[in-house]
Chain A
Amino acid sequence: MNAKRIDKIATGVLYGVAALVVIILVALLGFILIEGVPQISWHFLTSPALAFEAGGGIGIQLFNSFYLLFLALLISLPISLGAGIYLNEYAPQNTVTGLIRTTIEILSSLPSVVVGLFGYLFFVVQFKLGFSIISGAFALTVFNLPILTRSIEEALANISDNQREAGYALGLSRWETVTKIVVPAALPSIITGVVLSAGRIFGEAAALIYTAGQSAPALNFSDWNPFDISSPLSPMRPAETLAVHIWKINSEGIMPDAKDVSAGASAVLIIAVLLFNFLARWLGKRLYKHLTAE
Chain B
Amino acid sequence: MDKIRESLLKKSIASKIERRGKIISLICLALIVGVVFLIFYFVASRGLATFFQNHVNLWQFLSGTQWNPGTTGTNGQPAVGALPMIVGSFLITILSALIATPFAIGTAVFMTEISPRRGAKILRPVTELLVGIPSVVYGFIGLQVVVPFVRHTFGGSGYGILSGTFVLFVMILPTVTSMSADALNAVPRYYREASLALGATRWQTIYKVVLRAAIPGMLTAIVFGMARAFGEALAVQMVIGNATLLPQNLVSPASTLTSILTMGIGNTVMGSLQNNALWSLAMILLLMSLVFNLAIRYIGRKGKLSNER
Interface residues of A (CB under 8 A from B): 3-4, 6-7, 10-11, 13-15, 17-18, 20-22, 24-26, 28-29, 31-32, 35, 78-83, 85-87, 89-91, 100, 102-107, 109-115, 117-118, 120-122, 125, 142, 145-146, 149, 172-176, 178-179, 196, 199-200, 202-206, 209-210, 243-244, 246-247, 250-251, 259, 262-263, 266, 269-270, 273-274, 276-277
Contacts and interface: CB of A to CB of B under 8 A. Distances in A.
A103 B141 contact: no
Contacts of A86: 22, 25-26, 28-29
B258 A109 contact: no
Instruction: Give the interface SS of chain B, mostly helix, strand, loop or mixed.
Output: helix
Interface residues of B, number: 85
5 interchain residue pairs of minimum CB distance:
A111-B231, A203-B134, A82-B28, A175-B21, A17-B106
Contacts of A209: 234, 262, 266
B20 to A, nearest CB: 8
Interface stretch (B52-60, B64-72, B79-87, B284-292): B284-292
Given A79-B32, A90-B22, A209-B262, A24 B173 contact: yes
A250 B139 contact: yes
A125 B107 contact: no
B141 A31 contact: yes
Nearest to A27: B145
Contact of A113 (B20, B145, B207, B258): B258
Main secondary structure of the interface of A (DSSP, over half): helix
Given A113-B262, A205-B234, 17 more contacts: A4-B201, A18-B115, A24-B170, A31-B141, A31-B145, A82-B27, A83-B28, A83-B32, A109-B293, A113-B233, A173-B14, A203-B135, A209-B262, A244-B136, A250-B143, A269-B136, A270-B137
A199 B111 CA distance: 26
Contacts of B111: 18
B80 to A, nearest CB: 18
B99 to A, nearest CB: 11
Interface in B30-46: 31-33, 35-36, 38-39, 42-43, 46
Nearest to A179: B21
Contacts of A270: 133, 137
Contact of B261 (A21, A24, A29, A113): A113
Which of B38, B43, B123, B203 has the most chain A CB atoms closer than 10 A to its own CB? B203
Interface in B241-283: 258, 261-262, 265-266, 270, 279, 282
